[in-house]
Every structure is written in C-alpha cells, then in structure tokens.
Chains A and B, each alone.
Chain A
Amino acid sequence: MIRFENVCKSYGSFQVLKNCSADIGRGEVVVVCGPSGSGKSTLIKCVNALEGFDSGQIFVDGTPVRDPATSLPRLRARAGMVFQGFELFHHMTVLENIMLAQRVVLDRSAEDARARSLKLLKRVGLAHHAMKYPVNLSGGQQQRVAIARALSMDPVVMLFDEPTSALDPEMVAEVLAVMTELAQAGMTMMCVTHEMAFARQVATRILFVDQGEIIDDMPSADFFSGQCSDRARNFLERIL
C-alpha cells in the first residue's frame, strides 16, 4: 500500500533521511518509533508530500509521490493524516470540519456529507458535539474529531504523526481506543508514536528509525521480544 524506495532528504548538509526503504502492505498497522530528531515525522510527511524529498520514490497505492504527473491534492485525499497538534479548523464547527473536504474535494452533496460526518462522529463517540467549535472540546475530543475528519475522505491509508504527544495522559487512552478500533476494522495505518503499549498490542510491524535510517523493520512480536537492534533496545530502555 505504501512503498518507500531509497528515500533520501537533506536540509543543507544535514541528512534527515538516508536511503529509507520499506513496504507497508494492505491492512498492516506499522508503528514508526525512534528518538526525537531521528526523522520519523519527516518520513511520514513524505508519504503525502507535505514534505518533499530529494531522491528515491514513495508509492501510495501504486501512485508515485515524487512525480510531476501526480496530482498531489488527489493523492493526499486518499491518505488520511492526523497531526500532533490536531489542526481542526478553528473557525468551523466540528461538523463543518468533517464536511468541508467531502464537499469541495469529493463533490459530495451537503446531505450526503452531513450524514457521513454524523456517522463518523458517532464512531469516534462524539455525536453530540457536532455543532460545537473546536475550542470547546478537550484535546482528546479534538483529536478524535481529527480522525473522523481524515476518515471522511474514505482514505486507503491513515497516517498518524504523534497523535497523542500533545495530550494529557488521561486523554491518550480515548484516542488510542479509536485508533485500535480502526486497526481492528482493517485500516492500513502508519503511526509515528511513543506509545509502546499501543505498538505492542496493535501494531503488526515496527520500524525503528534512528539518525534518518530505518534500523529495524520487523514484526512487533519480534521487536518486543528482544530481536531488535542494540540501538532500539537502548531506546526502549530509555522510554519504558
């Protein structure tokens, strides 16, 4: 579903991504972890071209990202993304947030978009908050709306960029619960996260990234049973 082929990216002389290659299959839940500054956020943002890269290629459901012939808006519409800072549109209600891209990108009718939005809100447990503005929701609620908003485009893959890092501990669980439900429903997911319990329970595979390189790429069971690299083991010891 997502294939990275020798992806390289530099900021000046600093190499953020070094020859990153990996393949994420349909229905897989891949957790990307690693120390801060390792390039994992950059890696996930390359998938929907929010960040460019210098060489190599990424295919999303067969479509090459770094290709002038690829329509980036169309590609992005098929890859849902959830941000660390939620990024709900402040000036719109929850419902308007979820309806917007359905209306203007997918050309869905207002009734259709509204019905789908309300269904998604119900799915993330926020059906009664449809008419509120984001400022009146907690962080955890905002992030669940953001997930619903990404899902509204019927994406083939969901990208999560540290979705719980900006949340108070008691709100992390409600967001992870939604993500777990999504994984169980068969969604292809790529998640940058420090939530190792989630990685252990939900992820099918772990990519461990350090200094711009994918050091480990293995089933999560293997990763957590000690078959990972020394660098990964060091990292785990520090954060667990």
Chain B
Amino acid sequence: MQIWNWHGFFMYLGSGFIFRGALVTLMLTVFATCAGFVLGTVVAVMKRSRHKGLSLPARFYIWLFRGTPLLVQLIIIYTGLPKFGIRLDVTTAALIGLSLNEAAYLAEIIRAGLDAVSPGQIAAARALGLEEGQIARYITFPQALRIIVPPLGNSVNGLLKTTSITSVISMEELLRRAQLLVQEHFMVLELFTVTAIYYLAMTSAWDMIQRRLENYVNRPYQRTATPVLLEPEANIAVTS
C-alpha cells in the first residue's frame, strides 16, 4: 500500500460529497453563531440584572452549558428528549445543541463587553434625558460591540471546528462525510488532509471577515481616521 495517493487526494478535494459536507458545517456555524448571539445577549442582559429572578437563571444556564461537554449535550438532546415525547431530526438536534452551547459562551463575552462601557458615558446619556432602553440601544450596545468583536471572532473560529462533534449524532457535516468515505477506500491520510484544507479555508475566510469587522468597530477610535462624510452638504452649510 502506497504512503500517499495523489490521485485519491485530488479526487476527494474535488468531491461534491465532501464539498456539500463543508457547506453543512458552514450552515451549522452561521446558524449557531446568530442564534447563540441573540440568546447570549438575552442571557448576558439577564445576568447583569439586579433582580435575582433574572440573574440566577442566567447564571444557572451559563454554569450548565459551559460545565458539560457539547458531546454530552448533543446526545442528551438527540436521544434523551424523544423519551419525553420531543422527537427531533438530526439537523434540528444539532442546531439546537450548538446554539444553546454557543449562547452560554457568547453570553459571557457579551457581558464583559457591556461591563466595559464606562459609567461616565451612561451618565452623560442619562443627563441628556435618554431613557434606559434608549441608552442601551444608542450607547451601551454600540460601544460594547467594539469589545465583543475580537473574542467573538475567536468563538466563531472555534465553532467552525466544534461543529464536527455533531458527527456523533450522525449529522452529515464535513468530518462525518470524510469518515464515511474512509470506509470505502481506506485513504485515511488523503481524506483527512482534504478535510483539514476545507477547515483551513473556512477559518481563513472568517479571519478576513473578522478583520473587517474589527476595523469597522474601531474606526471611530483611530486617531488618524478620516472623518466619514455622512452628509456632504453639512460641511458646505458650515463653511457658508
């Protein structure tokens, strides 16, 4: 048996079966990030609340989902819930498991971002007569975003690879499909190299997106930043 089969390598690299697996991985990541971000924001806001009725459930949620392996959570969701009459297909179970898990981690990232907004900024908004909801919308969340984006990027990068764990409940994402093909021709090294290349391509693409996101949220804070002319006529009005 030869050590490395180039023909096999290129065959798998161009395989539609593997490619569609990568798309599933991408879909899982995008969905879990979005759902996790929304749920994580809710949990973060709850955890910061002064009311124990809100902060305690949030703390419990984070404690539970960060304290147990995703593998265990997925198996419980997929095989445990049907025993209580809740039957989920593989994709739904995977999406729910990943989202719930991701939300717990993102909640902590978002909470740290919200905490980092200086009290002086909030006092200034209050002094102008803004209501608490308006302060959250116009001041706290936009400023927290700048703190949130770098660790959020880290989390998305991790999630891209963590989705492979859903293969244990037979979710046909990238890794699972590679494992299925291994059983055909036993070209283990070639297949997993192709898999690695796919993951690298996806994490690299995310790196680029994250850099842009960071630049975007940092724009107001850069001393050299060229002011954005939101309304060019405003400048004309000033000089006239």
A and B form one complex? yes
The chain A residues found within 8 Å of chain B, CB to CB, are 48, 50, 72-81, 83, 85, 87-93, 95-96, 100-101, 104-105, 114-115, 118, 121-122, 127-128, 130-136, 146, 149-150, 153
- Find chain B residues with CB under 8 A from A83 CB: 120, 123-124, 127
> A95–B238 Cα gap in the complex (Å)?
11
Let me know if B130 and A132 touch, CB within 8 A. no
> A132–B124 Cα gap in the complex (Å)?
19
Instruction: Out of B138, B139, B227, name the residue touching A131 (CB < 8 Å).
Output: B227
Let me know if A105 and B230 touch, CB within 8 A. no
> Shortest CB–CB separation between residue A87 and chain B, in angstroms?
4
- Find chain A residues with CB under 8 A from B153 CB: none
Let me know if A95 and B234 touch, CB within 8 A. yes
Q: Is B184 an interface residue (CB 8 A)?
A: no
Instruction: Out of B120, B123, B128, B131, name the residue touching A100 (CB < 8 Å).
Output: B128
- Find chain A residues with CB under 8 A from B231 CB: 114
- Find chain A residues with CB under 8 A from B180 CB: none
For chain B, the count of residues having a C-beta within 8 Å of the partner chain is 33
Interface SS majority for chain B:
helix
Can you give 18 contacting A-B residue pairs, CB < 8 Å? A50-B123, A77-B129, A81-B127, A83-B124, A85-B120, A89-B143, A91-B142, A93-B227, A95-B230, A100-B128, A100-B138, A101-B130, A105-B129, A122-B238, A128-B235, A131-B227, A131-B229, A133-B225
Binary flags per residue of B109-127, CB closer than 8 Å to A gives 1, else 0: 0000000000011011111
> Shortest CB–CB separation between residue A95 and chain B, in angstroms?
7
- Find chain A residues with CB under 8 A from B238 CB: 118, 121-122, 127-128, 130
> A81–B220 Cα gap in the complex (Å)?
24
Q: Beyond A79-B127, A81-B127, A89-B124, list 5 extra A-B contacts (CB 8 Å).
A: A115-B237, A127-B239, A128-B235, A134-B220, A136-B227
- Find chain B residues with CB under 8 A from A146 CB: 124
